[in-house]
Structure 1
């Protein structure tokens, strides 16, 4: 166990590496005990990826010593689902004071991430937070300030970097296969199952999730920052709400009680989802959170179509779009370079010549195991004056394209292995991916080009690696 624990501590330090903000290594005095972890926020992601999976895979080197949530019913469920015996708390400060954790994992509503990150750092704990880091530039700066004053580390749990497919794109670009990258087109399509789900939940309110520019697109912007190997400098964006919210003709309180559900194409029967019923529906009485809210309630104030242009410090120009009501779920990216072009895409049905179950796609992505065998996805590399080359990459849809398992593997199983792709994400990565979405939202509201340097005291840098 001693060797595993040393590897774990080393891995946390690697994950927190930052180009600009100095970070100290973890300095636990564990002697012969396990790493003590607490989790705040017991929703789907917290209880599964950062909860149950850690318990099942790494109980030899870590233990949960506390769970915290404002909903006591969800806490009871989480404890049973994760298979832990630790105490539960509705008061975060009391949990930290009594359990004295080494590491705090934050998986609460996005708008409250900063509260627990800052408190955790101030209390002398290392913190790992789910993406996005936070929801606006003021909270970003507060987190930066707290991290600087602390002798502890903040880690952002980006997993898309770790999928083999996305890593292969990074490798090909880094090798200069298309010369110096000059521009990028990136388009993400959320289907009418997954895309619609954001508008049912708290994500549909700007005050809770900062819009999908922040909650969803921060994943994409982190990938792009990493692929492009530079920081964003300026952002201009358009966005609107044209499908969901007040645009709907049919409207009810929620799917379960709706009088017109038989007529609604977006009707979702939550009663067929046992986990959602046990975690959310059975505990509505505690905090009033409804998981199957109407997509067309008038309080929704986020965008359902989004487009942005981003200029990077190294002069790369990015064209980005996000659609939330596509017939299919997938994405495309194209990199134009001085010596060619690289194209990649996933799950575009008519290009894969297969029928994909759109209703099950997101569930399969979140699932940590896959039944797919010997599946490959192509990346197209086209050099000037030559025919194109097809690079085939082993692919699994489960666990965010294999990124979930690879991220945990790096942290807990093989942290000492050199990573030539620089996939470890620290606070600067979290901030810069966050600021693109925040800037895009501000650009829509003001009609102006937003400079990233005006949002926090972090100056964009030309080359990150």
Structure 2
């Protein structure tokens, strides 16, 4: 069997592990790493050692493409850079896998969609949450019509003070880099909704604010390692206690000035940390969504309300008490008619990232003849619709107006896709 030769673009945490070391460890019979692109040479060298590869290092994609002929580029750079790299790779005649979000603006979405159409190559967006066993089971229940026609959804995501704060230490804390967490983080959640409901978001309204981090903090310093308030700051992060991050970022910061332990209270942080959104879908499903970034718990609550019942789950990822290593989906019927009024469906947590979702996604992409019966493999349209939902939410939170997705990108909202036309209003 012929291996797919791939170039890894960007060697941050995700690139070095998920698409580097872990990919080679589990899928070596299907892939071969032929090049690594990283503008910081020290980080690139250390990432290459962590991956266990002898692939040549390049400072940019153009120099790599001039010497290498990979079949595939895997893009793991900061969000605002994705479009340039994706377009350059497509134009060179190779396929692309990109980390989410696909990109950060309407103009960048257009560039990617145009290049994919023009070149005939393929872009996969790594929406690994679709592959998590619990998400797949919920999709099966919805597809089977277990609760009839879905009318509304309650979806609330909680990031704890370890995970949530980390976004505010890094480049994600600036809208120009990440599009805000409405785009960077919530792109996962908006994509799940689009996929679960098999429809497009139509209208979005939102409230959001910076209530805990940034200028709302009681004090600030240049970075955690040099901060005079380290002894009194609840968010103090000692990078030396994490050998992986210390190796990948601390010494390399002397080259590019990027500190992995930035102060979460920097006054120029411009993304919200508390967000609520209302979404109306083309099939007339109404969604209530929220994201909070400084909780004592990590996980989410999700409920689908239908004409024949309700599907509900509370997934625990981290909390100050013990929970079973499994999820319990509640299938609650309005009219049991001899069936169980409440059915508890237990889904075990599997090993690997996202309870096995990362492995299942890599199987789908790299193993031949994989059946995609749930439509889990996501392309540019899915990537675009989730980003558009995030852009609409951020825009609404700043303007106070309801944002029509079709006005942001009419050519995509009315492109004749089965998603956009299924069960029209």
Using the TM superposition, give the Cα deviation of residue 389 of structure 1 relative to its aligned residue in structure 2, in angstroms: 1.6
Shift of the alpha carbon at 1:411? Answer: 2.6
- Find the aligned partners of 1:275 and 1:206 in 2 and give their Cα distance: 27
Please state if 1:463 is matched with 2:422.
yes
What is the aligned partner in structure 1 of residue 86 from structure 2? 117
Report the count of equivalent residues: 413
Label 1:397 to 1:260 Cα distance change in 2 as closer, same or farther (>3 A): farther
Provide the rounded CA distance (Å) in 2 between the counterparts of 1:348 and 1:202: 24
| Match for residue 342 of structure 2 among 388, 406, 421 | 388
1:378 aligns with 2:328: yes
Q: CA deviation at 1:348?
A: 7.5
Map of 1:341-420 to 2, 5 A cutoff?
Answer: 341-347=310-316, 354-355=321-322, 375-386=325-336, 387-396=341-350, 398-413=352-367, 415-420=368-373
Using the TM superposition, give the Cα deviation of residue 324 of structure 1 relative to its aligned residue in structure 2, in angstroms: 0.4
Does structure 1 conserve the Cα–Cα contact (< 8 Å) formed by 2:364 and 2:377? Answer: no
| Distance in 2 between residues matched to 1:348 and 1:129, nearest whole Å | 25
* Separation in structure 2 between the aligned mates of residue 145 and residue 269 of structure 1, nearest angstrom: 44
Q: Give unmatched runs, 5+ long, in structure 1.
A: 6-33, 357-373
Aligned counterpart, 1:430:
383
State the partner residue of 1:148: 117
Query: Which runs of structure 1 show a deviation greater than 4 angstroms over 4 or more consecutive aligned residues?
Result: none
CA contact (8 A) 1:231 1:463 kept: no
| TM-score (norm. length: structure 2) | 0.94
| Cα displacement string for residues 6-32 of structure 1 (whole angstroms, at most 9, x for unaligned residues) | xxxxxxxxxxxxxxxxxxxxxxxxxxx
Distance 2:317 2:193 in 1: 20
SS of the residue aligned with 2:225? coil
Residue in 2 aligned with 1:13?
Answer: none
State TM-score, norm by structure 1. Answer: 0.86
For residues 295-339 of structure 1, the C-alpha deviation after alignment (integer angstroms, 9 at most, x for no partner) is 001111000000111111111111100000111111001101011
| Equivalent position to 1:221, from 167, 182, 190 | 190
**Match in the other structure for 2:207:** 238
SS at match of 2:152: strand
Partner residue, 2:67: 98
Shift, 1:397, TM fit? 6.5
Report what 1:293 is aligned to.
262
1:62-88 per-residue CA deviation (whole Å, 9 max, x = no partner) reads: 221211111111111111111111111
Report the alpha carbon displacement of residue 445 of structure 1 after superposing the two structures with TM. Answer: 1.9
Q: CA deviation at 1:380?
A: 0.6
In the alignment, structure 1 residue 262 sits paired with structure 2 residue 231 = yes
Distance 1:375 1:277, change over 3 A: closer
